[in-house]
Amino acid sequence: MTGRERLQKTLNHEVPDKVPVDIGATIVSGISAKTLIELKEHLELNGETIKIQDPFFMIGQMQESLREVLQVDVVGVFTPYTKLGFENRDWKEWEFEKGRVGMVGGGFNITVDENGYIYAYPQGDTSVPPSAMMPKDGYYFDAIVRQGDISPESLNGKKDFEEQFGIYSEQVLRDIERDADHFFKHTDYGIIGNFTGTSLGDFSSLPGPGLKETPGIRSIEDWLMAHVINQSYIKEVFDYQTEVAIENLKHYKQAVGDKIQAVYVSGTDFGTQHCELISPKVFRELYKPYFTTLNKWIHDNTSWKTFYHSCGSIPNLLDDFVEMGVDILNPVQCSANGMDPIFLKEKYGDKLVFWGGGIDTQHVLPFGTPEQVRLQTLERLEIFAKGGGYVFNAIHNIQANTPIANMMAMINAVKDFNTK
């Protein structure tokens, strides 16, 4: 089977010839640029400098030479948008740590203070206050909250988020069309589209790191409180966001057609290590209706499967995920309460495709021994691959300073499982 055939079988809950592998096909299933460079050096792969897909997260962009060696089955079609508001064009070099150089979009501009803190600016405009900060010796940026007046009379959900959620430009649509066409015609990979603008209430987007001005509620604390004391405001935001998203989905469908097999819909986290961030009742009132609308449009108008990412403990939300039309669950954080892999596979294996869960990136992959990595990888494959419906990926992005020996142990364990 080709990677595309393998992925399609998996999405249909059928058993493929082997488990399809994703490393880097979405912004939540990739590898730190630092680790990706080190992996490339270890494998003695020469060629062009690694591009940083989005400097906010410091995730590296997969190269074809790496895909071939790692036996990856899935590629992603990305928009050129970044969290910091510039587009990935006019690439330039950036030495993000001593001896480590990556390529970033030309609109990425930073300053460094006397303490070594790196500040990034919305749309690369250094004449306005910075919107993100990376501490000295850090590995990714955190948004800087620049919230103003949030008195009830000053809030207007549509107006506050109008600039943040806009219609895709013609240039962006042509970029998407070009990349989807290339992967479909010239490769055998499975293809997932990385759609943007549908992660309702996503904490990484909420502060508006790509905006020069950030009206409305922008702090996570105030946003979470609004779920109880100002639900009408959140509904105003989601009404507008969903309206724009449907229009963008129409344009996106025209650009990619049926060349993609799945589409990234949401990266909003609804769980912590121990429980949900919001109650199931509030989720059903505020989020479920909008996600249901988005999924219905996708299922009524395309052949795509819907990909949802949510970290943390979310077993009490999974029935709702199924009911609202989620097809694929990522990252499957098995270390969180209630997310036991055997339970998940037995209860939801015929309803959800699990995309992730392959290795614990909090503890085992970064801090375990290669043998511990190998054993957990094989154990997860045995559980999740049974009966199909599983795409191998680590639990969320692989972090900086992950030992390359552990990376190779994970990769080789997957290869061994797939050839036994």
What pLDDT does residue 309 have? 99
List the chain domain ranges: 3-90+147-419
Q: 328-330 and 305-309 as β-strands: parallel, antiparallel, unpaired?
A: parallel
What pLDDT does residue 74 have? 99
> Is the per-residue pLDDT at 67 higher than 90?
yes
Which tens digit of pLDDT belongs to each residue from 261-270? 999 999 999 9
Cα four-point dihedral sign 405, 406, 411, 412: positive
What pLDDT does residue 47 have? 87
Phi and psi angles of residue 144, each rounded to the nearest 5 degrees, phi first: -95, 120
Q: 229: how many CB neighbours lie within 10 A of its CB?
A: 9
Give the DSSP H or E segment for 118: strand 118-120
Which tens digit of pLDDT belongs to each residue from 129-176? 999 999 999 999 999 999 999 999 999 999 999 999 999 999 999 999
Return the ∠ at Cα 250 (arms to 178 and 204), rounded to 5°: 80
> Is the per-residue pLDDT at 257 higher than 90?
yes
Structure token pair of residue 9: 């079988």
pTM for the complete prediction? Answer: 0.98
Write the single-letter amino acid at 373: V
Write the single-letter amino acid at 244: V
Burial 36-51 (b: 16+ CB within 10 A, else e): bbbbbeeeeeeeeebb
Specify the CATH number of the domain 3-90+147-419.
3.20.20.210
Give the model's confidence band at 379: pLDDT under 50 very low, under 70 low, under 90 confident, else very high.
very high
> Is the per-residue pLDDT at 41 higher than 90?
yes
3-state secondary structure 212-251: CCCCCCCCHHHHHHHHHHCHHHHHHHHHHHHHHHHHHHHH
> Is the per-residue pLDDT at 46 higher than 90?
no
Residues 6+ apart with CB under 8 A from 264: 26, 27, 28, 76, 192, 193, 194, 195, 307, 309
Mean pLDDT of 273-292: 98
> Rounded to whole angstroms, how far apart are CA atoms 58 and 139?
7
What pLDDT does residue 420 have? 85
Mean pLDDT of 209-229: 98
Which tens digit of pLDDT belongs to each residue from 321-358? 999 999 999 999 999 999 999 999 999 999 999 999 99
Q: Which of 387, 393, 392 is nearest to 14 (CA)?
A: 387
What pLDDT does residue 286 have? 99
> Rounded to whole angstroms, how far apart are CA atoms 114 and 92?
24
pLDDT above 90 as % of the chain: 99
* Residue 3 contacts residue 17 (beta carbons within 8 Å): no
